[in-house]
């Protein structure tokens, strides 16, 4: 395994190009299975999750080639209707293959998926949607078995206990595109990634109304065609580098971004005290406000257009070094706070209360050895290490590789002192300068007497 060795305290400066969206690209790759003929995707990031999906497509006997951000997917030999546990456990997005498999093969068997350890993430809404379209479903020994004699349009309600489901909306949308008759998805997810999938399907020949709203109406067609499509910029990566800029007191220009997909996150950063200037339609300059002090925040995540749950750990890291008491509530994944314990190892003061995190900001963090529990936690800990005093080690960065393309290289190009190395534990707290401790204690004692 690899890790990041980081020496904090350097402001990030320069320009960084944001990659294509992982969360958009994965369902687009599966949607290509529905077309008659090859589909070409451009602006595709070379990530661990993308490679995992390519392996899944290969298992389905579908050829996928990725070179220089351009992917060609040819479904002509698509002939497999099951996916084993070993493939599904790698990421939850593997579930996106279920809809095209059911649609094109009329039967499917898939293991229940894995992915980041961020709490309970059931697939009940996926199954509810498929059943509404006439699919028979049976769950046995960790697998979901499905079959049908022809998909039929229906009204599908996808409202769950945590709000709409992005994955379920995408899956039902793909199946309904080739179902007989009209389907109406109520409480559909509105995320930009869902909108992009819908627009891709329309380009392939689907008939979909209401894109961008919570109600999607789909009139099934007999066939879809392969197309050429450019993947949208990754709004979560853009948010990550925006936070990286302000947490290090830097000045970074983000290019290849779509600010319209980041409205809530940009609002939160401006409320905190960041200066964000639009440089044309696809670039943002982000830096800490000169005349505006850092302010604590009270925010909560929510379905789009709210603050994305994926940005919550990033904002939490920023608030850890923001004076005052902040509160972050995650209404999507209430257990998505494992990064907080690692931030506390660096000197942060956080306390979890049910689905909320209370953060008492400190003046600075201290370098420490920390461990990523999931993708966004790994990114948040990396940002915290960049802002911390001294050296840190961020371990288990294979989580980070799932969603960030050349993350360490992009940070290094902005001036970060970050090196990717083989994981060899060297605890930065193993040695201590006792003279500095004694000096600090003497100062504290004088201040107490005063």
Q: Give the active site residues.
A: 116
Cα Rg of the chain, angstroms: 23
- Residues ≥6 apart with Cβ < 8 Å to 388: 6, 8, 9, 346, 347, 364, 365, 366, 367, 368
Residues 382, 7 contacting (CB under 8 angstroms): no
3-state helix, strand, coil in the chain (%, to 5): 35, 30, 35
* Cβ count near 418 (within 10 Å): 23
Give strand ranges (E) for 155-288.
Answer: 155-157, 159-160, 163-164, 182-186, 207-209, 215-219, 224-225, 228-230, 251-255, 274-278, 283-288
Of 156, 134, 68, 54, nearest to 405 by C-alpha is 68
Continuous segment of H or E residues that includes residue 78? none
Tokens read off for 135:
């699919």
Distance separating alpha carbons of residues 312 and 302, to the nearest angstrom: 10
Give strand ranges (E) for 107-237.
Answer: 107-111, 136-140, 143-147, 155-157, 159-160, 163-164, 182-186, 207-209, 215-219, 224-225, 228-230
Question: What SS3 state is found at 393?
Answer: strand
Burial class (CB in 10 A: 0-12, 13-18, 19+), 350: buried
The angle at the Cα of 254, spanning 51 to 395, to the nearest 5 degrees, equals 50
């Amino acid at each position: 395994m690899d890790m990041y060795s980081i020496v904090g305290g350097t402001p990030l400066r320069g320009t960084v190009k944001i990659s294509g969206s992982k969360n958009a690209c994965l369902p687009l790759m599966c949607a290509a299975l529905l077309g008659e003929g090859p589909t070409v995707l451009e602006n595709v990031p070379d990530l661990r999750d993308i490679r995992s999906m390519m392996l899944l497509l290969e298992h389905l006997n579908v050829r996928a080639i990725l070179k220089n951000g351009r992917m060609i997917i040819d479904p002509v030999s698509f002939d497999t209707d099951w996916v084993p546990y070993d493939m599904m456990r790698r990421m939850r997005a593997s579930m996106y293959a279920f809809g095209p498999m059911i649609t094109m093969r009329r039967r499917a068997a898939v293991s229940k998926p894995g992915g980041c350890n961020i709490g309970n993430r059931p697939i009940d809404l996926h199954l509810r949607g498929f059943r509404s379209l006439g699919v028979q479903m049976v769950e046995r020994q960790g697998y979901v078995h499905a079959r049908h004699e022809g998909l039929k349009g229906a009204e599908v309600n996808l409202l769950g206990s945590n709000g709409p489901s992005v994955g379920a909306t995408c899956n039902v949308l793909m199946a309904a595109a080739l179902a007989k008759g009209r389907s109406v998805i109520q409480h559909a997810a509105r995320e930009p990634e869902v909108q992009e999938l819908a627009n891709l399907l329309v380009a392939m020949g689907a008939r979909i109304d209401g894109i961008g709203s919570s109600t999607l109406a789909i009139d099934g067609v007999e066939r879809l065609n392969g197309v050429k499509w450019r993947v949208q910029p990754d709004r979560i990566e853009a948010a990550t580098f925006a936070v990286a800029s302000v947490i290090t007191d830097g000045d970074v220009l983000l290019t290849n971004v779509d600010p319209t997909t980041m409205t809530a996150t940009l609002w939160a950063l401006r409320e905190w005290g960041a200066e964000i200037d639009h440089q044309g339609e696809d670039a943002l300059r982000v830096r800490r406000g000169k005349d505006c002090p850092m302010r604590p925040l009270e925010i909560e995540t929510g379905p789009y257009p709210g603050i994305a749950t994926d940005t919550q750990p990033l904002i939490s890291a920023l608030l850890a070094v923001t004076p005052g008491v902040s509160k972050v509530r995650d209404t999507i994944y209430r257990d998505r706070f494992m990064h907080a314990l690692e931030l506390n190892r660096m000197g942060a003061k956080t306390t979890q209360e049910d689905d909320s995190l209370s953060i008492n900001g400190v003046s600075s963090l201290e370098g420490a050895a920390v461990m990523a529990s999931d993708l966004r936690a790994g990114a948040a800990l990396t940002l915290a290490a960049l802002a911390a005093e001294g050296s840190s080690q961020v371990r288990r960065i294979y989580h980070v590789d799932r969603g960030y393309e050349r993350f360490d290289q992009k940070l290094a190009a902005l001036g970060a002192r970050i090196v990717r190395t083989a994981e060899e534990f060297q605890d930065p707290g193993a040695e201590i300068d006792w003279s500095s401790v004694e000096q600090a204690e003497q100062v504290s004692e004088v201040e107490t007497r005063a």
